Amino acid sequence: MQAKGKFITFEGGEGAGKTTMLQRLAGYFEDQHLPYILTREPGGIDISEQIRSIILNPAHTSMDGRTEALLYAAARRQHLVEKVEPALEEGSIVICDRFVDSSLVYQGFARGLGMEEVWSINQFAIDQRMPELTLYLDIEPEAGLARIAAHRGHEVDRLDMEGLDFHRKVREGYLLLASRYPERIKVVNADQSIEEVEADLIKQIEMWILEDFRREMSNH
């Protein structure tokens, strides 16, 4: 599927700092005068935000793993057709907080449903759309959860309530995906100062933009 814009996704475990980094990178894209939108999964649009509230509700601890995976895929599909694809067609850079890799890791690997099984659900949902670049913010689960406890206090969602072993599996799953798809997924150490993480992310984005530009030039 070809589009005029570019699709960048951010991934990471709980407390990796994705939201902070996305806000800071918005300033970078503005300084570069690049058209962009920031969005998130699950959510980004009304229908998907409502699905998000069901998935992350702390009261829903009885939710089956497959139900969870299907809800994420449903939210992803609606978000894709209603927000992501139109923005790509207009030539914008779409920067999304989480995408299909989250489902592969959280439901497929950490919950034990199987990455291939979760991928098959999502193939139907995304209709071949994949990001050109994925930036994975890597942090030890203990450090990420400590950040959440320090900064969010009482505001805890269902994923934050999972045990440490679950979050360790999440990290293991992400590193596994990064080793499988090194051309697309770039690992950034999130256990640094905000300024250092931001600098590393910008470096990866600029390297990717240059590589992409060279590919386009070689095709002409």
Residue found under tokens 């609606």: 78
Q: Is residue 14 a known part of a binding site?
A: yes
Mention every residue, 6+ apart, whose C-beta is less than 8 A from residue 122: 73, 76, 100, 103, 104
Burial of 62 (0-12, 13-18, 19+ CB in 10 A): exposed
Nearest-CA neighbor of 101 among 157, 18, 38, 206? 18
Q: Is residue 11 a known part of a binding site?
A: no
Q: Is residue 153 a known part of a binding site?
A: no
In sequence order, what E strands does 117-195 have?
A: 133-138, 185-189
Residue found under tokens 């497959």: 66
Binding residues for ATP: 12-19
Binding residues: 12-19
